[in-house]
Amino acid sequence: MVDYVLRRLLYTIPSLLGIVVVCFFLTRLSGDPTDLFLPIDASEEARDAFRVQYGLDKPLMEQFVAFFYKALQGDFGNSLRFGEPAISLLAERLGATIQLALATLFIAVGVGIPAGIVSAYYRNSLLDVAVRSLAAFGQAVPTFYWGVLCILIFSVWLKWLPTGGSGGLVHLILPATTLASTLVALLARVMRSTMLDVMRQDFVRTARAKGLGEFTVVMRHVARNAFIPVLTVIALQFGVLMGGVIVTETVFSWPGVGRLVIQAIYARDYPVVQAVVFFFALIFVLSNLLADILSAVLDPRVRYK
């Protein structure tokens, strides 16, 4: 088991190195930062001064090595806008985003998984049809539309919840449910179909033949096995969630990393953009690593391979 975790951990290293490379070249591909940042009518001297200041006068490979070396130490340079290190701007906003992401995950798993279990167990019943319809609806409606609609209904008309900003739990409800809507729908559908697969397996019949109660058969023998592949879906979706965070944070003026990166993009503040992109990619890699470890915990066949 320790062996397995260590090996998985080693596998993340090439991914992370790759991300640093992509981060650097992708930003450079979008054009000369000098042109992006300085006014169009800036003098040639000002341009040269800017290039020297940020090391842009050096050959690309040399720049890359410098960037790479610093990035590994967590240094993405100073924000062009605030002059502060990009990484500390990121760190400031991190708490809010993590709070939002975890609340979203909590809602998505807490609603989506039970919905999928119930829907599969009572397949083709009215309940199943209701869950499937809601799931199709949830997946079809885009997050930004959902967000605006929720603000209109719950904040403007009913005045139950604040329209945006951060504070207590009440501020978290709307953005988290909005962000969770597509994930709830996806998890309900995936859980339902893997449940149906497992329910056909022989060992489920064996479990019933032992005289176990239906609840035990469904939870311990069916749902537990069905959850293993769903776990991977959750991990992958957690990465996708980071994209949703950008939209949702903007709609609800949530002071997180998503809003930071949108502002940085508008301001052509490329060190901040690079830091955030790297951070999102890191989240993606880590959530996959976590899924691998968790599925080994749940599935002995993975553990002993």
Partner 1 sequence: MSLTMTSRPSAGVERHDEILSIKQLRTTLGSRPGGVTVVDGVDLSVRRGKTLGIVGESGCGKSMLSLSVMGLVPPPCRLEGRIEFSGRNLLDVSPAEMRRIRGNRIAMIFQEPMTSLNPVLTVGFQIVEAMRAHDRKSSYEVLRRRAIEALVQVRMPAAERRFDEYPHQLSGGMRQRAAIAMALSCKPEVLIADEPTTALDVTVQAEILDLLRDLQQETNMAIVLITHDLGVVAQVADEVAVMYAGRIAEKASCDALFADPQHPYTLGLLGSIPRMDQAATRLLAIDGVVPPVASMPPGCRFHPRCVFSGQECTRQRPELTAVADGHAVACLKAPIEEGQS
**Where along the sequence are the contacts to partner 1 (CB under 8 A)?**
201-203, 205-213, 216, 220-221, 224-225, 228, 298-301, 304
Report in angstroms how near the CB of residue 152 gets to partner 1 at its nearest.
46
Residue nearer to partner 1 on the CB measure, 181 or 225: 225
Q: How many helices (H) and strands (E) does the chain have?
A: 14, 0
Work out the angle at residue 232's Cα, subtended by the Cα atoms of residues 242 and 132, and round it to the nearest 5 degrees: 85
Partners of 38 in the beta sheet?
Answer: none
Residue nearer to partner 1 on the CB measure, 103 or 191: 191
Report in angstroms how near the CB of residue 199 gets to partner 1 at its nearest.
10
Q: Residue 283, Cα to own-chain centre: how many angstroms? A: 7
Q: At a CB cut-off of 8 Å and minimum separation 6, what does 143 contact? A: 178, 179, 181, 182, 244, 247, 248, 251
The phi, psi pair for 37, rounded to 5°, reads -95, -40
Report in angstroms how near the CB of residue 211 gets to partner 1 at its nearest.
3
Residue nearer to partner 1 on the CB measure, 75 or 197: 197
- Residue found by looking up tokens 């890191």 in the block: 282
Query: How many other CB atoms are found less than 10 A from the CB of residue 302?
Result: 14
Rg (CA), the chain: 24
Residue nearer to partner 1 on the CB measure, 173 or 204: 204
- Residue found by looking up tokens 């329910």 in the block: 199
Q: At a CB cut-off of 8 Å and minimum separation 6, what does 254 contact? A: 96, 97, 100, 164, 165, 166, 171, 175, 248
Residue nearer to partner 1 on the CB measure, 57 or 299: 299
Q: At a CB cut-off of 8 Å and minimum separation 6, what does 177 contact? A: 107, 150
Report in angstroms how near the CB of residue 210 gets to partner 1 at its nearest.
4
Residue nearer to partner 1 on the CB measure, 208 or 268: 208
Residue nearer to partner 1 on the CB measure, 180 or 199: 199
Report in angstroms how near the CB of residue 212 gets to partner 1 at its nearest.
5
